[in-house]
Amino acid sequence: EIALTQSPGTLSLSPGERATLSCRASQTINNNYLAWYQQKPGQAPRLLIYGPSTRAIGVPDRFSGSGSGTDFTLTISRLEPEDFAVYYCQDHGDVLFTFGPGTKVEIK
Amino acid sequence: QIQLQQSGPGLVKPSQTLSLTCTISGDSVSSNTATWNWIRQSPSRGLEWLGRTYYRSKWYTNYAVSVRSRITVNPDTSKNQFSLHLNSVTPEDTAVYYCARDPPQVHSVFDIWGQGTVVTVSS
């Protein structure tokens, strides 16, 4: 079973800054099928990116995903106030549906 | 617009069965391309996929190893719903439970989620 680690645990940034979030897998992810979700307090996760660079419907283009093999990155080019949230990665290359522990992006 | 609406109790006693229902609007539980999933979230276990049901000429279910001996996910085509039953619960099953759709064309992601149900296991 693949394990996912995310870093940093918390990212403190100001609106307008660039955010770079990392997700590392313990083994190569099949077909680079790595997805990213955003979760705000009291809400369900929201799918942002899959496969590893395709934006889901309605996701702004300031969000981008990249990477391959075991190392993946979610980049938010310029943080908007509504982007402060927790972000999770998920292996969608197999049917175990493993999620990472999350990175919290907080306002500095 | 596709929506998932969850229902079920928020408090379950230890050793009893946790039962939740997810009602689908805008799609069909009998879809030949989507799958219908249950996921839970707790501080100790994070986001954890529990199980799914789907129709591909016949009905299939898959379950996570961690709950395989205790879980059942069933479709109800007459009500366009699917359900979760988790028996022999303990306080470790306390979590927010979500239903979610794994959509057509994309492999094993979750694009539509229910609103979540906070379930507490306590006497």
Sheet strands (E) in A1-101: 4-7, 10-13, 19-25, 34-39, 46-50, 54-55, 63-68, 71-76, 86-91
Closest CB from A43, A92, A102 relative to B107:
A92
The sign of the torsion formed by the CA atoms of A81, A57, B103, B84 equals positive
> Looking at residue B106, what is its pLDDT?
83
Residue type (1 letter), A99 = F
Average pLDDT for residues B42-51, to the nearest whole number? 96
* A87 class by beta-carbon count within 10 Å (0-12 exposed, 13-18 middle, 19+ buried): buried
Pairing, β B117-121 against β B11-12: parallel
Over residues B67-72, mean pLDDT: 98
% of residues, chain B, pLDDT over 70: 100
Please give the average per-residue pLDDT across B72-93, as a whole number: 98
**Ramachandran area for residue A3 (φ above 0: left; ψ -120 to 50: alpha; else beta):** beta
Residues of A in contact with B106 (CB under 8 A): 50-51, 92
Q: What is the pLDDT of residue B84?
A: 98
What gap in Å lies between CA B38 and CA A14, rounded to an integer?
A: 35
Q: Are A68 and A51 contacting, i.e. CB atoms less than 8 angstroms apart?
A: no
pLDDT 10s digits, B96-114: 999 999 998 888 999 999 9
CA–CA dist A8, A86 (Å, integer): 11
Q: Do you know the residue count of chain A?
A: 108
B63 contacts chain A (CB < 8 A): no
The verdict on a CB contact (< 8 Å) between A44 and B46 is: no
The pLDDT value recorded for residue A45 is 98
Q: Does the beta-carbon distance from A51 to B106 stay under 8 Å? A: yes
Least Cα separation, residue B35 to chain A (angstroms): 12
Our measurement of the distance from residue B78's CA atom to the centroid of its chain's CA atoms, rounded to an integer in Å, reads 18
Among B39, B62, B114, beta carbon nearest to A95: B62
CA A13/CA A108 separation, integer angstroms = 5
Name the residue in chain A with its Cα closest to that of B109.
A92
Chain A residues close to B115, C-beta within 8 Å = 44
Pairwise CA distance, residues B30 & A7, whole Å? 39
Q: What is the pLDDT of residues A76-107, one digit of tens each?
A: 999 999 999 999 999 998 888 999 999 999 99
Token pair 């391959």 is at which residue? A68
Is residue B4 scored above 90 in pLDDT?
yes
Distance from CA of B16 to the nearest CA of A (A): 26
Give the SS3 label for residue A64: strand
How confident is the model at residue B104, as a pLDDT? 84
Count CA within 13 A, CB hemisphere, residue A18.
6
Q: pLDDT under 70 in chain A at which residues? A: none
